[in-house]
Amino acid sequence: MKFYIKTFGCQMNEHDSEIIAGVLQQAGYRPCDELDAADIIVVNTCCIRESAENKIWGYIGNLKNIKYKRPGVIIAMLGCMTQQTTISAALKRYGSHIDIVLGTYQQHRLPEYITRAMIGNGQIVDISEDNRDFPDELPCVRTSGVTAQVNISYGCNNFCSYCIVPYVRGRERSRSLNAILSEIREAAAAGSKEIMLLGQNVNSYGKDLGEAGQNDAPDFATVLKAACAVPGIKRVRYMSSHPRDFSNALVDEISKLPQVRSYYHLPLQSGCDKTLKAMNRGYDTARYAAIIDHIREQTPEAAVTTDIIVGFPGETEDDFQATLDFIARCRFDAAYTFLYSPRSGTPAAKMADQVPLQVKKERLQRLTALQNQISLEKNQTYIGQIVHVLVEGPSKNNPEYLTGRTESNKIVILRGGMELVNQIVAVKITGAKTWHLEAL
């Protein structure tokens, strides 16, 4: 029997899908690339913003047709969106064609539930939180031979007031350093040159490990150093960081690691102190600016990117202007920008002064225009430079070319044959766009 997995959402979800694929293959199912040929359809869901959920409702609506034509097909919905009790209740009513509904703690039990669904006794729902085991021993089928994604922690303790993640992925649990390292060694032995360390807040790694009252637990710097020491690993990336837990000492450690030091992603969320406080972020713009300044002193060549939310409740025109000014000051290489989306159950959803959608959209446009200008200027400084690109594969937009990334994580479109995939090649940059460089 063949399975098809559709993944929505972040890198953490992409990696969960690699584990789901591993678990299904271990149970004897085979992967397939076509929805119409699949006997089992798995939808791995996201709920970070309303737009993600709307897309998913649309997608599962379309699956009704498939179930109608092929009633034997098993449809399973997993992930962050289904972990919410409101959603699993709604699915009982509007998603009777969904056979299995699992939350974020029970994904590894999918094979067992598939067997039960085949016998057929109505929709199976398991969003219980009783199993918080780490998938240390779970198989994983990597979709990329170049970059191996490795979980270092699960869940989040921060409770940023807009964010639903702590509610659907639970409290932070760090994985043991041994489990992390053996996975990295395995990936390196299989040929991966890049490691992506995953956690909702990688910087607080290890705080829950070690003996009570003792200071013997590994921290994030330990993980980075150990990952870099694995033979064959040329690049180490991580996602996501939290500025509150990003110390100057960590920047100093990172700047000693050539595989890591050229790229930082440090979500700012807002450049207005009042908004940062209402977001419960635990830092202000002065503290954030100090980190950026320290990074630039230590590694002037490093690229720095960020995340920004516009239209958080109570954000006035002046508050938004403060964000624009701060962005102009920090001069990020790129910013991932989002319209604030109220998430049910989070404190911000209940705050007064929700910003009208039109105002949010207009602010997003102004922010994008400013950031695009800065991104382009930053990218133009690469023209004429020789950069080292880890080649990932054919370019999606133009399969005649290859795509890869510089040490500073900039996308480069380059010429060459498939034999260059998973190789690091030196190329001269000939052109610069807002979101990528060209070596053509």
Binding site for ligand SF4 (CB under 6 A): 156, 158-160, 163, 165-166, 200-201, 242
Site string for ligand 5AD, 228-267 (x = CB under 6 A): ---------------------------------------x
Residues β-bridged to residue 93: none
Site string for ligand 5AD, 45-84 (x = CB under 6 A): ---xx-----------------------------------
* Minimum distance, C-beta of residue 320 to ligand 5AD, in the bound complex (Å): 15
The item of ligand SF4, ligand 5AD, none sharing an interface with residue 340, based on CB under 5 to 8 Å by kind, is ligand 5AD
| Residue 320 near ligand 5AD by CB under 6 A | no
Distance CA(243)–CA(260), nearest Å, equals 17
Instruction: Determine which residue in the list 46, 309, 387, 389 makes contact with ligand 5AD, applying CB under 6 A.
Output: 309
- 158 with 125: CB under 8 angstroms? no
Q: In Å, how far from its chain's centre is CA 249?
A: 25
* Minimum distance, C-beta of residue 307 to ligand 5AD, in the bound complex (Å): 3
The item of ligand 5AD, ligand SF4, none sharing an interface with residue 200, based on CB under 5 to 8 Å by kind, is ligand SF4
**Binding residues with ligand 5AD: total (CB under 6 A):** 12
The item of ligand SF4, ligand 5AD, none sharing an interface with residue 250, based on CB under 5 to 8 Å by kind, is none
Neighbours of 98 (CB within 10 A): 25
The item of ligand SF4, ligand 5AD, none sharing an interface with residue 237, based on CB under 5 to 8 Å by kind, is none
Instruction: Determine which residue in the list 44, 88, 269, 422 makes contact with ligand 5AD, applying CB under 6 A.
Output: 269
Distance CA(130)–CA(114), nearest Å, equals 20
CA dist 348 to 87, 142, 314, 426, Å? Answer: 20, 37, 10, 47
330 annotated as belonging to a binding site for a ligand? no
Instruction: Determine which residue in the list 186, 307, 325, 362 makes contact with ligand 5AD, applying CB under 6 A.
Output: 307
Taking Cα atoms as reference points, which of 103, 90, 98, 115 lies closest to residue 63? 98
47 annotated as belonging to a binding site for a ligand? no
* Minimum distance, C-beta of residue 164 to ligand SF4, in the bound complex (Å): 8
Torsion of CA 82, 87, 93, 99, to 10 degrees: 0
The item of ligand 5AD, ligand SF4, none sharing an interface with residue 314, based on CB under 5 to 8 Å by kind, is none
* Minimum distance, C-beta of residue 49 to ligand 5AD, in the bound complex (Å): 5
CB hemisphere CA count around 231 (13 angstroms) = 1
Q: Which long-range CB contacts under 8 A does 112-120 form with residues at least 24 apart?
A: 113/76, 114/27, 114/29, 114/40, 114/74, 114/76, 117/74, 117/76, 118/74
Distance CA(132)–CA(134), nearest Å, equals 6
163 annotated as belonging to a binding site for a ligand? yes
Closest CB to ligand 5AD among residues 351, 425: 351
* Minimum distance, C-beta of residue 223 to ligand SF4, in the bound complex (Å): 18
Neighbours of 310 (CB within 10 A): 26
Sole window of 17-25, 251-259, 335-343, 422-430 interacting with ligand 5AD (rule: CB under 6 A): 335-343
Neighbours of 219 (CB within 10 A): 21
Residue 25, token pair as written in the block? 């293959």
SS3 374: helix
The item of ligand SF4, ligand 5AD, none sharing an interface with residue 210, based on CB under 5 to 8 Å by kind, is none
Closest CB to ligand SF4 among residues 204, 262: 204
Residue for token digits 């409770």?
159
Taking Cα atoms as reference points, which of 35, 50, 154 lies closest to residue 104? 154
Residues at the site binding ligand 5AD, with contacts judged by CB under 6 A: 48-49, 162-163, 267, 269, 307, 309, 338, 340-341, 343
Annotated binding site for [4Fe-4S] cluster: 10, 46, 80, 156, 160, 163
